[in-house]
Structure 1
């Protein structure tokens, strides 16, 4: 096979894991307000010339020597020893002959036979071939013949080592490769540097077997992710979905194809039910409903929706029911009135007096784009507040036939499709970014604080972000600050141009944003972000476009500033030593800590897809001191404040440093 041209550009931080044609694109006082140079176009990284390279390996079979990975012929391979005893891990090292800037490794697996395809792996770098740095990437590759491009933060190295920790199909203790290439420095703008207690820090890249276009936090410190019918692309209604679960404690990732529900869960609505199960609705199979139960690690079918939908807005209510509306990406381009799912009866009920019309944006593509990704927040009595992305806001009643009441405009905001809305405090919502059209329209830097604690919502313009963003994700932290990650200043699906690599942290006390440490990889369309129980944030995904240059089947974990000292070391943090596993609304619980703390907060576990995480909310708690290490903590009685479900309970010390969360189920 002819070797790829050395000039072939590959975007840094991506993994091209598909070989099918590109699918049809979707149609048409340390607060520093600074300009972010990383918002400029993200250039591509080219493969480095192989002149003078040498390949060595932990073992090899005669005829399958490591030099085969540099001969430009996919029909020849390096294979670890198999005729006599061999065991994992196995490694393959490339000596480039000089120290140079490296940003990724391209792994071409053997074709024709599966034995030796690398599964779990890590990549290490060295300047002298003797002293090896900690892994710059750890992850898992899919068991297929597709070329994998594994990106990582730009680093200086002469030697690059790919370590095989498992064989992809667990067929034996072997490793193999047909070709290996390396990526050079794409010339990214310099990252934000400085005090980690202000900027935070990113961990190494974590390779995944799928592009995570949706994700949900599970009990037991695990993260569920899924893509579509394929690991790296979408299209059609194929009746199955590629999923993965990452154990955040061990770092292990397991993949699974879900067939039994007949549901391609790409572009769905997602909600966390009161009992901790995850409800996934519509998408590529527009009427289907699937439920994941983390207690049994099983997927099951629920009744079909009354209306086929994709890109709908969805949220869990104070009643434990689930409301959804809109979603003309799939299931027909027409008005998609709301409907309600009852877990108690396992049925859907239409809400004919909740049409999608009040929620539409003025997108030039019409309803196909105008009714997408509604920002919905549960309030008391089964009601919902609609905060956007349309410039007009609404109250929604779900009793009987339903009802929509106009709530005025979101201040001076225009339509803000693919922006974010996050409930950072009781009845208080931060909205950031977005654009007046789904794609190919300038995004905004604007942010607004919306207060819905009164009869009439109040809106105030906070300071702007430093960078305009659409397709970004926002995550509320246990101290009430909000981190905004990724996005593009000019949103275009499946493009990494105009990517914003510098996250920003919003402080509700000042209304201002602070620039944070830059990411290694663009996170745009089809990316996700989740708060983790240890107070860190997972950010991953982007792409899902087949054989394209913007697939990102990987993630990174961000450590926020509140966990770090100025030298980058970890701050001492409080620990919760005892807490109940469940509580009812209006109750008072006793929580033990290892030291005196300032207070407690709840953050609801949630699921995210397409920049929307409607179940996400933070609830600060009232507490009293029994002793320095024992506290009486009051749970709000109103299920509109704490909708039933699983929550992360954090203790915070006087400096605002959070504990690792205790898991607490409220109601349900």
Structure 2
């Protein structure tokens, strides 16, 4: 096993990066979020509340709210000693609203923008000077507690090394209008100055901004925009090593075997602390982080306090590029450097043993990461904060992304009859929030289908019998007829007939077989499919139907038929005429059940399945991927290349060039946990069947996360959590630019342009004459998709037959089979010979 892959060996909870991310939830009542973790204390003036209790793997009860404090923060709250703060403006006449109040540890004092006399208009900004360089990953913002006035709505965050040069903002977004503490995250990096700029007041009550306290989170152990460096040819030496009583050589940290270790000398007279180990890469290259895997099975020798230095010659190591204290556990640790260094030698020096058990140091594996190359690994945009956790999303015309959570912005539970929604404007990056009450539908954990007319059908969930429709033209929600069978965690797909099919969903709505049913757009009613029991498509989850009929992978084909190709290892053909029927389509090659994996249609009659685990939670995920090819009623499944990382709760997106990107997930799935998070996305190439790494994410995306292809060929990745007063709510998202859009230096590649000739609507089997600019080699339709709970049955890629029709013109034929091109909204892309896509045009096929 190579280091950097998800590790197979486990003692209790699987070892992991325990990560903090942008958009963490407010902590519970009576607790303040300004607590120190990983050995770094809060400022002396700050209160010291009871720290979070780590309850990794705790799952909320059925229709319940996740327990408070479900996970401990992983990033330390930085020590504020010596910090100063300034503001663009402050109130000193009508009240003590000085900027310095945000650092005094007293939540009853506050910074307030100037309001006496003539109020200062937006924007208002406050700048923290740490007077030293440190890795920072988030601002912790506590609104004032005595009034709603001045709560920050829209915001941006900028960083500077010198207080003069700020560059582009690293984060921005919109915060919910409530008094809870907020964590505003961004990609971790070294900085001295951090500026928070308020662009609006959350409730629109006036031109005011206020803050009771501001703190900063440090290194979360998730270096963003990096890739693991190849260890080929590396060597390791140590200040001392045990070779008499055991094989504790330094070289063991590079052998790819987590059962072998480096151990400081302990036989005879133990070598005293400090102990150091030095990696010689035998070449000079850019390095930005060190990853450390502790020994497994024994606690002795876990590093506590550490420092990392670098050298180009092996003699002069200079000042540390990272310092800190690691927790006393067996999770993988990552130390992000304050800035990328060009080095050949990397030295880790350990000065204390984490548990104080003795003068020892040990390590199983050590790896290094360097900055990603945009043209090879893609690049991430700034993190956008949402006023809710985006648990479900749908791509809309007009460069909009619809998102929703549950009755609350940060938690679920009960059957409350309303839903928090938001819309991200992809052109302006602004997020607007709205609570939907009039449908009587809490749409948490729903089924979703994109309808033939471009509307979004949402079924079940916390209000398990309900069905609602979002109309993007009217920007409004309407009700439709309740389902016959109440459901939650069910799956849906549009049929070739324009009807919508739903199956499974025992998470909500009581016990019983959640058999199939079909919704008619003409009658707006549901009809039962008594011949399609959900039991035929279940996994062997030990929790029974409550988990085993969740999140099915459904692919609609001709004549109203559906292939159910997972997550159960058995695949099934489903017919939807009359009472319907379900018959075996064979097994998915040698795959086992793969719950919380996913499937993507990357070509006509060709699907890729990725990851998953035998049970919904607390079972090891798989790295395996399979292709499933359809030829009429014949289904052929075959194993393709493995992912580098095992993943469950991940999300996958097919790109216009036919490649498939997979984001996030866990090696050992546990809802509401960021343990065993996989931060490195991967890209599957159908031409080779292999996966290649992409630029590392800054935020874990696990349970309740989403990913969507956008009209400009980029990908939105966001969400995760929804567990109330916990540390794993990720009320944010970021846009990933795939490498096919970038030159080797990171600059944008020239793109084809669709200049005209695309109507708003076209029928199957018709031809279009499309006007283009630039070099165009092919065209493809990508169905506008909707995602939730790792499942997106609306995704499909349909390559089109096209011919040149004169200068800058192409005749493009739409398939006539609605089993190939399901009715509904599509993104029409033009691609050049290298697979670079244009910006898409929306086209409704019906």
TM, length-normalised to structure 1: 0.95
How far apart, CA to CA, are the structure 2 residues paired with 1:411 and 1:606?
27
Match of 2:760 in 1: 581
Shift of residue 20, structure 1, vs aligned partner: 6.8
C-alpha displacement of 1:42 = 12
- Choose which of 54, 66, 91 in structure 1 pairs with 2:125: 91
Alignment partners' CA distance in 2, 1:189 and 1:60: 35
Larger RCO: Structure 1 or Structure 2 (Cα < 8 Å, ≥ 6 residues apart)?
1
Match of 2:494 in 1: 316
1:61 Cα shift?
1.0
User: Of the two, which has the highest radius of gyration?
Assistant: 2
Pair 1:610 & 2:640 matched: no
For the structure 1 residues 665 and 636, does the alpha-carbon distance in structure 2 shift closer, same or farther, using more than 3 Å as the test?
A: same
2: CA distance, partners of 1:142 / 1:656: 40
Q: How does 1:587-602 map to 2 (within 5 A)?
A: 587-602=766-781
C-alpha offsets along residues 91-132 of structure 1, whole Å, 9 cap, x if unaligned? 011111111111111000011311111000001111111111
Task: Give the counterpart of 1:73 among 106, 122, 129.
Answer: 106
Which secondary structure does the structure 1 equivalent of 2:805 belong to? strand
> Alpha-carbon deviation of 1:26?
4.3
Determine the C-alpha separation between the residues in 1 that align with 2:19 and 2:689. Answer: 38
Who is 2:354 aligned against?
none
Q: Structure 2 residue aligned with 1:630, among 778, 795, 809?
A: 809
Match of residue 621 from structure 1:
800
1:130 equivalent in alignment to 2:139: no
Tell me, in whole angstroms, the C-alpha distance in 1 between the residues paired with 2:218 and 2:58.
Answer: 30
CA contact (8 A) 1:212 1:528 kept: yes
Unpaired segments of 5 or more residues in structure 2? 1-17, 31-54, 63-70, 228-370
Structure 1 residues 650 and 392: CA distance shift in structure 2, 3 A? same
Structure 2 counterpart SS, 1:292: strand
Tell me how far apart the structure 2 counterparts of residues 204 and 196 of structure 1 sit (CA, whole Å): 15
Q: Which moved more, 1:566-575 or 1:626-635?
A: 626-635
> 1:139 and 1:389, CA in 2 relative to 1: closer, same or farther beyond 3 A?
same
Whether the aligned pair in 1 keeps the contact of 2:19 and 2:674 (CA below 8 Å) is no
For 2:22 and 2:620, the matched residues in 1 are separated by: 25
Determine the structure 2 residue equivalent to 1:32.
none
User: 1:52 — aligned with what?
Assistant: 82
Secondary structure of 1:134 counterpart = coil
Q: Tell me the CA shift for residue 67 of structure 1.
A: 1.1
CA contact (8 A) 2:24 2:726 kept: no
Contact 2:19–2:73 at 8 Å: present in 1 too? no
In 2 relative to 1, CA 78–43 (structure 1 residues): closer, same or farther, beyond 3 Å?
Answer: closer
Q: 2:835 aligns with which of 651, 656, 661?
A: 656
Contact 1:43-1:187 at 8 Å conserved across structures: no
- The residue that corresponds to 1:119 in the other structure is 153
Helix, strand or coil for the counterpart of 2:634? coil
Distance 1:455 1:303 in 2: 33
Give the secondary structure class of the aligned counterpart of 2:121: coil
- Of 597, 601, 611 in structure 2, the residue corresponding to residue 419 of structure 1 is 597
Counterparts of 1:384 and 1:454 in 2: how far apart (Å)? 12
Q: Of 419, 422, 432, which aligns to 1:241? A: 419
Where do 1:267-666 residues align within 5 Å?
Answer: 267-578=445-756, 579-666=758-845
1:166 is aligned to 2:200 = yes
Out of 7, 16, 23, which is 2:25 matched to? 16
Distance 1:189 1:138 in 2: 19
Structure 2 distance, partners of 1:236, 1:243, is 18
**Structure 2 CA distance for aligned equivalents of residues 596 and 42 of structure 1:** 52
Q: Give the Å deviation of 1:187.
A: 2.9
The separation in 2 between residues aligned to 1:24 and 1:98, in whole angstroms, is 38
Aligned equivalent of 2:115:
82
SS state of the match for residue 138, structure 1?
strand
- Residue in structure 2 matched with residue 255 of structure 1 by the alignment: 433
Quick one: distance in 1 between partners of 2:491 and 2:767?
34
Q: Work out the CA distance in 2 between the residues paired with 1:628 and 1:197.
A: 31
Mapped partners of 2:841, 2:770: distance in 1: 10
Paired residues for 1:29-40 under 5 Å: none
Match of 1:184 in 2: 218
2:238 match: none
Equivalenced residues, count? 647
Per-residue CA deviations over 1:512-550 (Å, capped at 9, x if unaligned) read 101000000000000000000000000000000001010
- 1:155 is aligned, of 178, 189, 212, to 189
Distance in 1 between residues matched to 2:534 and 2:78, nearest whole Å: 52
Tell me if structure 2 keeps the 8 A contact 1:217–1:223.
yes
CA distance 1:383–1:20, shift in 2 (3 Å):
farther
> For residues 372 and 447 of structure 2, what CA distance do their matches in structure 1 show?
40
Displacement after TM superposition at 1:194 (Å):
4.1
Question: 1:428–1:453: 8 Å Cα contact kept in structure 2?
Answer: no
Identify unmatched segments of 5+ residues in structure 1: 1-8, 29-40
